[in-house]
Structure 1
Amino acid sequence: MKKVLFAWELGDGLGHVSRLLPIANALRVRGVECAFAVRNLVVTHSMIVREGHRVFQAPFVTPYAPPDVRGKVIASIGDVLATVGYIEPDKLTALTDGWAAIIDSFDPDLVIADYSPTAGLAAFGERPVVPIGDWFTLPPGNWSEFRTFKDAPNRVDPERLLETVHEVQRRRGKALPDRVPALMHGARNFVVTVPELDPYQKHRVDTETSPLQPLPAAASRQPEQDYFAYLSNGYAGTPKALEALARSNWSGEIYLRDANDEIRSRWRDRGLTIHNAPRPIEQAVERARVVIHHGGIGTLEQVMAIGRPQCIVPRHFEQQKNSEYLGKIGAATAMKSGNRFQPEHIAQAITATLTEERFAENARIAAADLERRGPFNLYTRITDYVLAVLNAR
């Protein structure tokens, strides 16, 4: 029986596993044994084992800035990697050996990697790797070095990253990549979003770009309440957003990820409707006049397809960048990332999104355009490609 390992190393939320599971399930039906190595085992374990797949705890470290680069702006994926061991040979050796132990234990014929450069390093030159991701988590691997995505220089010299990778591979007696982006690049690469949401589209080679699965149909009924909010309790700006909602007369419902009973009860006492479990996204979005969320690309696409305007409360640069596209087409308002806003700012943004008809109209136009171009089914093409590679081995 052929085997495939699904790797998730960096990033947070449920989006990484959510986009890997449909591929694993499709491969299992075709007789392929699948297993997962995931960053957040506690949150995703039940999702994965419920589908009948094995799951390992992925090796990872909590990002931190080494002293010699502390205080400088993160301007590229290379700078992100510098915060998780890629300028510290001992640390990166430990992580790479950890990934190699999982790979050797499960012995897959192929690795599907979602934001997992160190899994790519552990498998480099030995097993085929198929990378998937969104624009941020899957930069063009044909680049000689990671380019900056901000108006700022790299805070870490790209050569330093490559020297660290080479030192690790020498210690392990393994092949040396000629560039660090090669760790996130395969013979075929898949960017799981609409092309408009990929600012690197023109730079890519050997890459397909499309939503992973068919998107929801455009809303067929009028909204029944003012808002639906899908927010993370772990983000420092979330209480400000909830405060704005609690002070308002708007009607709506909220799913507050990572919250416990005490936190949910506290906001319920303020008059908010807080659900204990995620709501079916299509139903919740269709019921609302505006959807408030952090700007994760999966949620953003689904809300776009249903045709509701959005208010984005981005936690970081990637989500801020995602919100810029919606802002350009006039279908969303957005806060500044990094918790740089106050409750009154988000109240103003939601008020504008609710009261200015152009937001609803532009959202309807965007939904109609996606419906015309669909249905999308990148996961089928990923599955077919993986099966072709497996059958050729």
Structure 2
Amino acid sequence: MNANILFAWELGEHLGHVSKFLPLALALRERGYRPVFAVRDTHSAEVVLGPHGMPWLQAPVAIGQGAAGPALNYADILLRCGYASPVRLAGMLRAWQQIFELVQPVLTVFDHSPTALLASRGRAMRRVLLSPGFFLPPRQTPFPPILPQSVAPDSLLACDTAALAAIQAAQQRIGMAPLATLPELFDADLRLLDTHPELDHFGARPEEEYCGGFYLDATGVPAEWPDTGRPRVFAYLRPGQRGVDRLLSQLRMAPCDALIYAPGLTAQQAARFANSNMRFTQELTQLRSLAGQCDLAILYASHATICACLAAGVPMLLLPQQPEQAMLARRVAELGVARVYQDDTAPLAQVEEALADNGMRTAAQAWRGSHTPLAAPALADRLSALLQNPSN
């Protein structure tokens, strides 16, 4: 067979976007397809895909500084990622079209890749959207706000109008048929929200299909803990992010054994915090190994890692760093399985309170027993059927 299936990742950061694709790509490779990736971050690709011999290309990205301040809605995100300039957007569209010409995919799976999705319109391929709620906004105009505070409807509509006008101008420039409405950007043969309705950033949507959270839980080094009898804390953090240094400086005083995965943290930086009960690792940690062993996970609120910890029944303390993560953190906290980190409260107190919260632990264990995502082999079979039946 050896037909190419492209996985497109254009926007967003870190390991989650590419790692969630890996189990599906491996399952498709077992079925005779050839997975190829277009990735925003080649470092993440090397960490996740390199050991499996998966080929990848650099995804086209906009170069230049976007507008200051937080985005109002998804259309505003587009404007800050190159869409404010029809010429810049046209260049990205041409670049994606060249990737499609080079790879010749029979099917492309898109995650947070609006420009790739736009460039793929009209091409002879199947198109599948596989994204959490934030990256697949509701079919409405204007797109809903992504800030906790109230946003004037006129401001949201202005973002949508500007984004659609720029898209239409860029499409005209390169000879594409123009979109009539902004929600049409997300048309596809199959739309799947790879999350649970309870975790959808915009709330449960009965009209959409949910397949549970996709994440990479079996790859990496199993978590190892000293046999001290103290509570066990796993932390997945990013150095330099808001609140991380203060948290680490106090976590070393907590009555627990902590394993810290902080990619990019230098040995010198780690030495500032490490002590007998706090250990750092630069190895990708196998999230599956947290089940039944870990008492608390401290995370910067990435969707994939939250889903993995929920599947392992691990309660969480979440440090969201931007609006998407803050929206998700609020949803998870509402389920009673996590707390949201408070900048104005001592980190040590928050860790100790989270460890002592038996209700949060019980809720996390209950989630583990009641929510099962669609397995990668089952989704691979569904995509194979989509390819084999032109009438679908």
Shorter-chain-normalised TM-score: which range? 0.7 to 0.9
Pairs within 5 Å for 1:361-376: 361-370=362-371, 374=372, 376=373
* 5+ long unaligned stretches in structure 2: 219-226
Alpha-carbon distance, 1:29 to partner = 1.5
Distance 1:392 1:363, change over 3 A: closer
Q: Which residue pairs with 2:222 in the alignment?
A: none
Does 1:50 find its partner at 2:51? Answer: yes
Alpha-carbon distance, 1:28 to partner = 1.5
Q: Which residue pairs with 1:152 in the alignment?
A: 151
1:258-299 CA distance string (max 9 Å, x none)? 222332233326973111212222334533322111121222
State the SS of the aligned residue for 2:135: coil
Distance 1:62 1:267, change over 3 A: farther
Return the letter of the residue paired with 1:319.
Answer: Q
Q: Which residue pairs with 1:230 in the alignment?
A: 236
Q: Which residue pairs with 1:219 in the alignment?
A: none
* 5+ long unaligned stretches in structure 1: 217-221
Does 1:24 find its partner at 2:21? Answer: no
Alpha-carbon distance, 1:241 to partner = 1.6
Aligned partners of 1:97, 1:116: CA distance in 2, in Å? 14
Distance 1:175 1:323, change over 3 A: same
Q: 1:303 aligns with which of 299, 305, 309?
A: 309
Alpha-carbon distance, 1:174 to partner = 1.2
Alpha-carbon distance, 1:139 to partner = 1.8
Aligned partners of 1:210, 1:258: CA distance in 2, in Å? 30
Does 1:82 find its partner at 2:79? Answer: yes
Alpha-carbon distance, 1:306 to partner = 2.4
State the SS of the aligned residue for 2:143: coil
Is the CA contact 1:241–1:346 (under 8 Å) kept in the aligned structure 2?
yes
Return the letter of the residue paired with 1:88.
Answer: S
Q: 2:140 aligns with which of 134, 138, 143?
A: 143
Q: 1:377 aligns with which of 374, 379, 382?
A: 374
Alpha-carbon distance, 1:251 to partner = 2.6
Q: Which range moves more in the overlay, 92-101 or 354-363? A: 354-363
Aligned partners of 1:163, 1:345: CA distance in 2, in Å? 47
Q: Which residue pairs with 2:62 in the alignment?
A: 61
Aligned partners of 2:245, 2:298: CA distance in 1, in Å? 13
Return the letter of the residue paired with 1:357.
Answer: N
Pairs within 5 Å for 1:179-328: 179-200=181-202, 202-203=204-205, 205=207, 207-212=209-214, 224-268=230-274, 272-284=278-290, 286-328=292-334
Alpha-carbon distance, 1:380 to partner = 3.7
Aligned partners of 1:102, 1:357: CA distance in 2, in Å? 51
Does 1:131 find its partner at 2:129? Answer: yes
Is the CA contact 1:213–1:378 (under 8 Å) kept in the aligned structure 2?
no
Aligned partners of 1:62, 1:292: CA distance in 2, in Å? 33
Alpha-carbon distance, 1:197 to partner = 0.7
Return the letter of the residue paired with 1:189.
Answer: R
Is the CA contact 2:16–2:215 (under 8 Å) kept in the aligned structure 1?
no
Distance 1:187 1:254, change over 3 A: same
State the SS of the aligned residue for 2:102: helix
Aligned partners of 1:365, 1:386: CA distance in 2, in Å? 31
Aligned partners of 1:112, 1:123: CA distance in 2, in Å? 11
Aligned partners of 2:261, 2:78: CA distance in 1, in Å? 31
Alpha-carbon distance, 1:201 to partner = 5.6
TM-score normalised to structure 2 length: 0.86
Distance 1:109 1:308, change over 3 A: closer
Return the letter of the residue paired with 2:296.
Answer: V
Alpha-carbon distance, 1:244 to partner = 2.0
Kindly report the root-mean-square deviation, in angstroms, between the aligned alpha carbons of the 2 structures.
2.7
Is the CA contact 1:285–1:291 (under 8 Å) kept in the aligned structure 2?
no
How many pairs are equivalent?
Answer: 374
Q: 2:92 aligns with which of 91, 95, 99?
A: 95
Return the letter of the residue paired with 1:345.
Answer: A
Aligned partners of 1:215, 1:277: CA distance in 2, in Å? 14
Return the letter of the residue paired with 1:118.
Answer: T
Is the CA contact 2:40–2:58 (under 8 Å) kept in the aligned structure 1?
yes
Aligned partners of 1:215, 1:255: CA distance in 2, in Å? 14
Is the CA contact 2:114–2:185 (under 8 Å) kept in the aligned structure 1?
yes
Alpha-carbon distance, 1:122 to partner = 1.1
1:31-87 CA distance string (max 9 Å, x none)? 212210000012213532432322100011367434xxx44x422111111110112
Distance 1:63 1:14, change over 3 A: farther
Distance 1:270 1:60, change over 3 A: farther
Aligned partners of 2:44, 2:303: CA distance in 1, in Å? 19
Q: Which residue pairs with 2:170 in the alignment?
A: 168
Aligned partners of 1:39, 1:310: CA distance in 2, in Å? 28
Aligned partners of 1:288, 1:213: CA distance in 2, in Å? 18
Does 1:355 find its partner at 2:356? Answer: yes
Aligned partners of 1:86, 1:285: CA distance in 2, in Å? 43
Return the letter of the residue paired with 1:387.
Answer: S
State the SS of the aligned residue for 2:297: strand
TM-score normalised to structure 1 length: 0.86
Aligned partners of 1:366, 1:202: CA distance in 2, in Å? 17
Return the letter of the residue paired with 1:136.
Answer: F
Aligned partners of 2:178, 2:39: CA distance in 1, in Å? 26
